[in-house]
Amino acid sequence: MPRGFDTASNCTAIAAAIHANNYDFVCRYYSDSLSKRLTASEAAALSAAGVTMVTVWEDSPTSDGYFSHLRGVDDGSSAYHAAMLLGQPAATAIYFAVDYDADPAVINGAITSYFQGIADGFTACAGGGAARYAVGIYGSGAACQAILGAGLANYSWLAGARAWRGSAGFNGWNLRQNAGTTLLGMGVDLDDATDDYGGFRV
């Protein structure tokens, strides 16, 4: 099983050490917050070291009020353009975070609308044709199950908070977040993956 971690820290300086410590992938951010954003030089360093990357768009999606169709269009378009600028290969995934224990009514309402907006943003970025990237969701088991079931994501990343709704028994994940720790001087969350998790190298 591939193993890796997610972090908000730039990994350029430790790319070789990540590989030497037998980690297969690193999950990094696209975001309006430049301090945690994956950079082109970092992506090149990780790829050269033999480390696969996973990308997730996240800008404080931690409450009901964050989510709407319009916000989905905006986040989807921003993430798509960021991936294009980075050189993220076609047919790989961009995950979008639902980083709290959302109520089922909100999942089926505003959060579903948000992911419909992401799909619309991707389509617009593709000029009305097929989108270049696949969509993934990070969140509770309930959120992942609903968005996958609605056909609005191809990949799911189960959040580490197993007490969140639907998480304890959810087995349909491509990525599974585990305990937080300090690794190579950085704060990280450890992750497992299935063979197909939408990762890439540049």
DSSP state string for 19-50: HHTT--EEEEEE-S-GGGB--HHHHHHHHHTT
Residue 131 lies in a domain: yes
Range of the domain at 15: 3-193
Domain total in the chain:
1
> How far is the C-alpha of 53 from the C-alpha of 72, rounded, in Å?
23
The CA angle 198-166-136, to the nearest 5 degrees, is 20
Residue 199 lies in a domain: no
Task: Give yes or no for a contact between 28 and 51, defined as CB atoms under 8 angstroms apart.
Answer: no
Task: Give yes or no for a contact between 47 and 202, defined as CB atoms under 8 angstroms apart.
Answer: yes
Residue 192 pairs in a beta bridge with 3, 176
Residue 198 lies in a domain: no
Task: Give yes or no for a contact between 199 and 36, defined as CB atoms under 8 angstroms apart.
Answer: no
- Averages of pLDDT over runs of 10 residues in the chain (202 residues) are 97 98 98 94 98 97 98 98 98 98 98 98 96 98 98 98 97 97 96 98 98
What pLDDT does residue 67 have? 98
Task: List Cβ neighbours of 126 (8 Å cut-off, separation of 6 or more).
Answer: 132
What pLDDT does residue 110 have? 98
Residue 200 lies in a domain: no
Half-sphere exposure of 158 (CA within 13 A, CB side): 26
Residue 144 lies in a domain: yes
> How far is the C-alpha of 47 from the C-alpha of 93, rounded, in Å?
16
The first and second tokens of residue 86, run together, are: 């980075």
Domain containing residue 110: CATH number: 3.20.20.80
